[in-house]
């Protein structure tokens, strides 16, 4: 599996944990070694693993949390760092998300998630396999 494929896989695991409302899987995808940050739409920035994981535990435990799916993910890798930019479909609207990953051993772990409003929409033909380089 290429680094880009591994990044896209890790990004999909993040959205799968959200969709499945699986707090344990959500915890597993987030980094353990690096500082982590999260900016949910409309929230202040959360810093530190404890605050970020507490937010995700509350979100996935809430039966009224909206369903979300990832579209048109584009991944970029540079050494030990990777970024995935994608659209999030949420209740008929789209958000734009940036997910920053770092490698912990051979596994990509998310260390920053930021999602917010956009006027854009994913292309009609999704670019799930689009690849890029940060160089």
What would the pLDDT profile of 21-73 be if each residue is shown by its tens digit? 999 999 999 999 999 999 999 899 999 999 999 999 999 999 999 999 999 99
Is the model more confident about 73 or about 134? 73
CATH number at residue 71: 3.10.450.50
Q: How confident is the model at residue 127 (pLDDT cuts 50, 70, 90)?
A: very low
- CA distances to 1, 17, 25, 96, 105 from 31, in Å: 21, 15, 12, 22, 11
pTM attached to this predicted model: 0.89
Residue 60 placed within a domain: yes
Spatial separation of the C-alpha atoms in residues 30 and 107, rounded to whole Å: 11
Angle, CA 116 vertex, CA 22 and CA 39 arms, to 5°: 60
Number of structural domains (the chain) is: 1
Backbone φ, ψ for residue 115 (5° rounding): -135, 135
**pLDDT computed for residue 134 by the predictor:** 52
Q: How confident is the model at residue 91 (pLDDT cuts 50, 70, 90)?
A: confident
Closest CA relative to residue 55, chosen from 44, 66, 70? 44
Residue 124 placed within a domain: no
Q: Domain limits at 49? A: 3-118+129-133
């Amino acid at each position: 599996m290429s680094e880009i494929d591994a990044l896209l896989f890790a990004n999909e695991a993040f959205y799968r944990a959200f969709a499945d409302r699986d707090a344990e899987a959500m915890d597993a995808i987030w980094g353990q070694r690096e500082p982590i940050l999260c900016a949910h739409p409309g929230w202040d920035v959360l810093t530190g693993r404890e605050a970020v994981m507490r937010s995700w535990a509350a979100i996935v435990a809430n039966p009224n949390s909206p369903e979300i799916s990832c579209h048109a993910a584009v991944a970029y890798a540079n050494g030990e760092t990777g970024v995935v930019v994608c659209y999030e479909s949420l209740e008929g609207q789209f958000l734009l998300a940036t997910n920053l990953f770092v490698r912990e051993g051979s596994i990509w772990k998310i260390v920053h998630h930021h999602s917010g409003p956009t006027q854009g929409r994913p292309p009609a033909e999704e670019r799930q396999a689009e690849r890029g380089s940060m160089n």
